[in-house]
Structure 1
Amino acid sequence: MRLLRRTLKLVILLALIGLAVVLYYIANPNLPTYQQPSDLHYLDQWSEEQRQTYYYTPQGTTVKGLRYDWISALEMPFGTEKFARLDYLARFGFLTDPKQQPSALNPANLPVGFTRHQDSESGEHFLDISCAACHTGELRYKGQAVRIDGGAALHSLASTVPTLRGGGFGQALGMSMAFTYYNPLKFRRFAQEVLGDQYPQGRDQLREDFKQVLDRLLATAFNDWHRGLYPTEEGFGRTDAFGRIANTVFGDVLDDANYRVANAPVSYPQLWDIWKFDWVQWNGSAMQPMARNVGEALGVGASLYLLDEHGKGVAEADRYASSVRLHDLYTLEETLKQLQPPKWPEAVFGKVDLPLASRGKALYTENCAYCHAPDPKPRDQRLAPSRDPEWKMRVVPISIVGTDPTTADNIADHRFDISRLGWTKAELSKLDVRLYGASLDEVDFKSISSAKGLAYITAYVENRAYQDAGIGPRQRKEMDGYGLPIGVQEKRGYKARPLDGIWATPPFLHNGSVPNLFELLSPVYERQAQFWVGNFEFDPERVGYRSDKFPGGFLLDTRVTGNGNGGHEFRDGCRQEGVIGRALSPDERLALIEFLKVLGNAELETQLTDVPVRAWTPGPNCEG
């Protein structure tokens, strides 16, 4: 009996030690070290006022109800250092300025895109993750940093599932909150800082509110983990945007049976010039600017109430209350119209070789312009006649471009049961939604696609938000964007956007599966099957982030579902299976890259010399 008790105690002790080790590593995620740049260069993309408006205008997201002043008061799981100190948040890839100080727009002195909004009912200020958090980039070279406004973020924001090797912000935030709640000394310090003169009388209510938010965070992490919703790790600079929005709206808010495996992470697309596009999103599935922004806000965490307190559908006149902020979304959209593509900073990355770029221009005309050159349409051929210019976006079928199909396939194939909402087709016909390539008669409420379902939900959310804000039809037409309806098209392909500023947006392809432009212009067999992501250090010759192994990095494996690096290939032989052009020699690849550094920069483009352009050839006839 004594031996049994000793054995049992030993087992319990080992289990506790094991649990402690696991908690330690989960609470201390695997992250890159942060080295502050000696200088941060802002490019001439817009004014400082417009930049700050973009960085810190809220859109209505709530991060599970996290209050703005809480994040400043949170401590690290172990010790008393603050969780939200800039040098720590920068390790997740969030962007800071070595010289930044608290301001009226950013009183807590948080990274780009961390802002706040005030709830109209409770008066509470919620932490609000804005579009700038995911659509602002930075490149570093020899100790200097270049900010890319409207570019692609390289942070680790999306994942909530705790792992021993992961570096997700959601994991770290959840652990910080859990250690604060369950450690009386930590919670006392936290409460004293948050409540100030209202301590201790407000302590119990604060603890209750804090626990509700913590429970939501932990429940989301558990739900994502035990359902295996996100098997393809996103790592730095990616999120399964379409899958997460669908799971949030159709699963979290509506019905557990609607959760779908989301295994198609995508990079964050750059935002300059998007107001000119006839269709946006990677697959060209969205048309109206306001609907695109409302959908994004819902996916990032804006509150949404699709059912009443009894779990029943909401009456047509009351659909659907949310926390999205229409005036702020309109401000962001109008501000982004002023954003210019970044120009290659020669003082930091080196002079452009103009003779080489001249050769590259001829190669661009031969190999790239057909899909990627802007295609402005005359007024009578535009979706929005008043939009000038309006560029027609070419959506290239997967059967031609050959890039990883998982994103486009998931959007086209996933179906959701929304019958609990109690909609009728007669009600939907009154909404300002236009289906391209489909009709309302074909809609099945027990099996609706994500694009169509989100379009109708967004239409109701917009209607309610405009109504609550007292905004009339004339002003609404302007705020929606050129009077456009909520358009939906579902194509198995990816949008080929103009390439001005493309040099500033690594890694490449929609899923970030190619680390630099040189490899993108190379045959697939020359591309890296695995490479490391999360290092901001830039390679100005091959044009991409450094991709060799480093501490705290994320290993992107292109053999994993959703991570494929095939397609968009330049290789001699048949024009099939994603081969879109002839093989380019290494010198030709470098020449084309040199031209992409100046594309859109009128000052440098005018200095190029004319070089004869080879005709594009379709390749050999491989049929039969």
Structure 2
Amino acid sequence: MRILGRVLLAVLLLLLLVGGVIAWYTAHPNLPEYSKPEKMVHLDQWSPADRETYYYTPQGTQVKGLRYDWFTHLEQPFNKDKFASPENLARFGFLIEPEQIGRAADDTLAATALTTTKNPGNLPVGFARHQDGETGAWYLDITCSACHTGELRYKGTAVRIDGGAAMHSIASTVPTLRGGAFGQALGASLASTYYVPWKFDRFAKGVLGDRYPKGKAALKRDVRNVLGTLLSTAWNDTHRGLYPTLEGPGRADAFGRIANSVFGDGIDASNYRVANAPVNYPQVWDIWKFDWVQWNGSAMQPMARNIGEALGVGATLRLFESDGKPVMGDERYASSVRLRDLYTLEETLKQLKPPTWPKAVFGDIDLKKASQGRALFQANCVYCHGPHVKEPGAADYIAPARVPEWRMKMVPTSEIGTDPTTADNIADHTFDVRPLKLKVEELKGMNVHLYPENDEKLDLSKISAAKGLAYVTAFVEQRAYRDAHISEAQQQEMNGYGLPIGVQELRAYKARPLDGIWATPPFLHNGSVPNLFQMLSPVAERDAQFWVGSFEYDPKFAGYRTERFPGGFLYKTSVTGNSNRGHEFRDGCRKDGVIGRALSPEERWALVEYLKVLGNPEYESKLAPNVPTPPWTPGPKCE
């Protein structure tokens, strides 16, 4: 018995040691220190009012039920500093104005920052709030601008890229010794607040105000419930091994997380699928012109796309009763998505222009090189990247009210050769939705169109991710419109040009137009190529690993600086989902992702210089016309 007791004690001590190590690294994430820029530059992409609307309009999402005032009063685990202080959240890569540093949540910000009307908690871009219609509670609402706003730093100046790619670490819920993810650190702060009495007292006084101490017991119960949800999510994602490829700053397996949220969390645990294909956050200027969106071109209707994104970020969705039976009839699919706000965001984004090269910050353009680069672009790039503008009135014009309409070139993964994991997962993963008691005939009556059309009967025991999300989204959309008393005519307008919820399933990636591409590093869908010069180089000349998480920009190469720095994340292209293969210009036959002839270093520099000004009339008008350049050729026949 004595030996058994010693063994059990040793096991207990080992578990405590492991738990302590995990807790320490979770509470002390390996993050860079925030450095306040000497100057902040906002480019002329739209009006300040549009920017404020985009930054702080809620979508109806919730962070596991976390209240807005709880978030602003949480302390960091080992000190009294607020977890939501701008300088702390900026360490995770969230974007703030320099003027926010050192201000209390109820201060009025300087004119260069945003007013507290929409941002009373003095929080970063994308941290909004919404009020529950039944309880009146205000919830923390992570909105689309959190992931689709970028920033570039150069010689002490920060250049904000509205609609660009974020470089934060928000997605991961799986504890690691490295730490560094927002969700892990939030859980550590919430746990320390709940379990440390004096911390909870300070928290309760701040949240409750003159209702303290009467409401303290109820508050502690509510905090326990949210903490339990966070911990159960972390345990679920960890022990199931759902996210084996570390996402790191600026990436998330968005489609995989949405599918796991809707089909796994929402329907049945058998529907969880390994999500090992992180993608970087795409820029969102001009997307209202696109016929198909998502990296794999799987979605058509703007409202459905936005509802799906909101569900993935944390909008609530009621599918089952408390007894486990599916909600039936008109009571189905109640959610927290806010259709009018989603429509406001979509309409506001139509005003967003691509960023133009800030020569006062990054230096002027070499017009001679850019002129050569334009000729090279026309010969080697425009076939895929266009834009391919459809003439209004054409028989196959999809949305007559949308002018212009850009057709996206969808390039099969077998041709482009880039990492296929994202496209393959979306094509191959299927889900069992039979617990919802859906009827195939009912689904046929939904506003969901499959492209191309086919008569194949739906198998609800193994429906694809794209189709399954389309039907769930259609039900959510239908219910939300009814609850909001929105007329049929208004629905058509809010959906986006009266478009149906279109679905196509391709093992392909979208070749989008490249206006403003210089402002969106790193490149390829998975962020595996650090700058534009390497993007135009053979794979053998691309970095096999590099450091990410810094905002420091290299205007020569048009990409982030990639040397090691404190708190950086090492991106390894050898990891599943992280390959930097494909989209390669190299001599030889056109296979395995080789799409064009080898470009000399001088030609690559010329293309990089042109990509800095593509679509900018001020510069385009200064470029020399008809610069001779070798034409694109198909290359030798592949054996």
Alignment partners' CA distance in 2, 1:231 and 1:153: 22
User: Which residue of 2 is the match for residue 90 of structure 1?
Assistant: 90
* TM-superposed deviation, 1:36: 0.8
Whether 2:444 is the aligned partner of 1:424: answer no
Whether 2:31 is the aligned partner of 1:31: answer yes
1:417/1:16 CA distance change after superposition, 3 Å: closer
Structure 1 segments unaligned to the other structure (5+ residues) = none
* TM-superposed deviation, 1:614: 2.7
Structure 2 segments unaligned to the other structure (5+ residues) = 101-108, 110-114
User: Which residue of 2 is the match for residue 446 of structure 1?
Assistant: 461
* TM-superposed deviation, 1:24: 1.8
User: Which residue of 1 is the match for residue 73 of structure 2?
Assistant: 73
User: Which residue of 2 is the match for residue 54 of structure 1?
Assistant: 54
- Among 164, 167, 170, the alignment partner of 2:180 is 167
Secondary structure of 1:391 counterpart: strand
C-alpha root-mean-square deviation of aligned residues, in Å? 1.7
* Contact 1:140 1:537 (C-alpha < 8 Å) held by counterparts: yes
* Contact 1:429 1:440 (C-alpha < 8 Å) held by counterparts: no
* Contact 1:411 1:449 (C-alpha < 8 Å) held by counterparts: yes
Secondary structure of 1:509 counterpart: coil
User: Which residue of 1 is the match for residue 326 of structure 2?
Assistant: 313
- Among 378, 381, 388, the alignment partner of 1:365 is 378
* TM-superposed deviation, 1:612: 2.0
1:201/1:590 CA distance change after superposition, 3 Å: same
Alignment partners' CA distance in 1, 2:574 and 2:567: 21
- Deviation sequence 1:417-474 (CA, Å, 0-9, x none): 0001111111111111100125364311000000000000000000000000000100
User: Which residue of 2 is the match for residue 352 of structure 1?
Assistant: 365
Alignment partners' CA distance in 1, 2:22 and 2:302: 45
Whether 2:472 is the aligned partner of 1:457: answer yes
Secondary structure of 1:116 counterpart: strand
What aligned pairs does 1:135-214 form with structure 2 within 5 A after superposition? 135-214=148-227
Letter in 2 for 1:293: N
Secondary structure of 2:376 counterpart: helix
* Contact 1:277 1:392 (C-alpha < 8 Å) held by counterparts: yes
TM-score (normalizing by structure 2):
0.95
Whether 2:518 is the aligned partner of 1:524: answer no
- Among 476, 479, 492, the alignment partner of 2:491 is 476
* TM-superposed deviation, 1:506: 0.2
What aligned pairs does 1:3-18 form with structure 2 within 5 A after superposition? 16=16
1:6/1:386 CA distance change after superposition, 3 Å: closer
User: Which residue of 1 is the match for residue 255 of structure 2?
Assistant: 242
1:463/1:547 CA distance change after superposition, 3 Å: same
Secondary structure of 2:130 counterpart: strand
User: Which residue of 2 is the match for residue 618 of structure 1?
Assistant: 634
Alignment partners' CA distance in 2, 1:369 and 1:13: 63
- Deviation sequence 1:120-171 (CA, Å, 0-9, x none): 0110000000000000000000111000000000000000111111200000
* TM-superposed deviation, 1:373: 1.3
Alignment partners' CA distance in 2, 1:104 and 1:484: 34
Alignment partners' CA distance in 2, 1:11 and 1:252: 32
- Among 145, 148, 152, the alignment partner of 1:132 is 145
Alignment partners' CA distance in 1, 2:68 and 2:273: 31
Letter in 1 for 2:197: P
Alignment partners' CA distance in 1, 2:62 and 2:222: 14
TM-score (normalizing by structure 1):
0.97
Whether 2:280 is the aligned partner of 1:264: answer no
Alignment partners' CA distance in 2, 1:541 and 1:68: 42
More moved, 446-455 vs 311-320: 311-320
* TM-superposed deviation, 1:6: 9.8
What aligned pairs does 1:327-346 form with structure 2 within 5 A after superposition? 327-346=340-359
1:428/1:618 CA distance change after superposition, 3 Å: same
User: Which residue of 1 is the match for residue 106 of structure 2?
Assistant: none
More moved, 430-439 vs 416-425: 430-439
* TM-superposed deviation, 1:4: 11
* Contact 2:126 2:146 (C-alpha < 8 Å) held by counterparts: yes
* TM-superposed deviation, 1:545: 0.4
Alignment partners' CA distance in 1, 2:425 and 2:346: 28
1:128/1:264 CA distance change after superposition, 3 Å: same
What aligned pairs does 1:554-573 form with structure 2 within 5 A after superposition? 554-573=569-588
More moved, 240-249 vs 609-618: 609-618
User: Which residue of 2 is the match for residue 45 of structure 1?
Assistant: 45
1:124/1:512 CA distance change after superposition, 3 Å: same
Letter in 1 for 2:78: F
Alignment partners' CA distance in 2, 1:554 and 1:221: 21
Letter in 1 for 2:608: I
Whether 2:128 is the aligned partner of 1:115: answer yes
1:473/1:527 CA distance change after superposition, 3 Å: same
* Contact 1:425 1:440 (C-alpha < 8 Å) held by counterparts: no
* TM-superposed deviation, 1:11: 8.3
- Among 303, 314, 329, the alignment partner of 2:316 is 303
1:467/1:346 CA distance change after superposition, 3 Å: same
What aligned pairs does 1:279-294 form with structure 2 within 5 A after superposition? 279-294=292-307
- Among 517, 520, 526, the alignment partner of 1:505 is 520
* Contact 1:362 1:614 (C-alpha < 8 Å) held by counterparts: no
* Contact 2:22 2:176 (C-alpha < 8 Å) held by counterparts: no
* TM-superposed deviation, 1:391: 0.4
Secondary structure of 1:65 counterpart: coil
* TM-superposed deviation, 1:2: 11
Alignment partners' CA distance in 1, 2:13 and 2:508: 55
Alignment partners' CA distance in 2, 1:262 and 1:196: 43
* TM-superposed deviation, 1:310: 2.4
Alignment partners' CA distance in 1, 2:422 and 2:349: 26
Letter in 1 for 2:93: G
Alignment partners' CA distance in 1, 2:455 and 2:276: 29
